[in-house]
Amino acid sequence: MARLVETKAPVGAALGEAREEIPAEWLAEFEAAARRPLELRFRYAFIRTYKPVLDDAAFRSFETMAEYRRWCEENLPSWLGYGRV
């Protein structure tokens, strides 16, 4: 089993570069997470967020991409990022 590091370890030390140091607390959290079963790690890895309008219907279909884009612009909040740039 891996031993928890009490001091800071330099990032990129193997490359011989001076970079930021990783706090020991972060390393300890990473090592604890790495010991969890993969199924549990996957469950913690994804955060479900409700997306207004998008999540309100089981599915939608459009005849053309232009129709889809128009629907997005007219119905979705801009912060979701589906508008044109």
The string of DSSP codes covering 2-45 is: PPPPSS-EETTGGGT---PEEPHHHHHHHHHHHTS-HHHHHHHH
**Confidence class of residue 40 from pLDDT cuts 50, 70 and 90?**
very high
* 15 contacts 41 by C-beta, under 8 angstroms: no
pLDDT digits (tens, 9 = 90+) for 47-59: 888 888 888 999 9
Residue 18 CA to residue 68 CA, distance in Å, equals: 49
The domain locations on the chain are 9-45, 48-85
Q: What is the dihedral of CA 5, 8, 11, 15, to 10 degrees?
A: -80
Q: Write down the pTM of the prediction.
A: 0.45
pLDDT digits (tens, 9 = 90+) for 8-19: 545 555 555 555
**pLDDT above 90 for 27:** yes
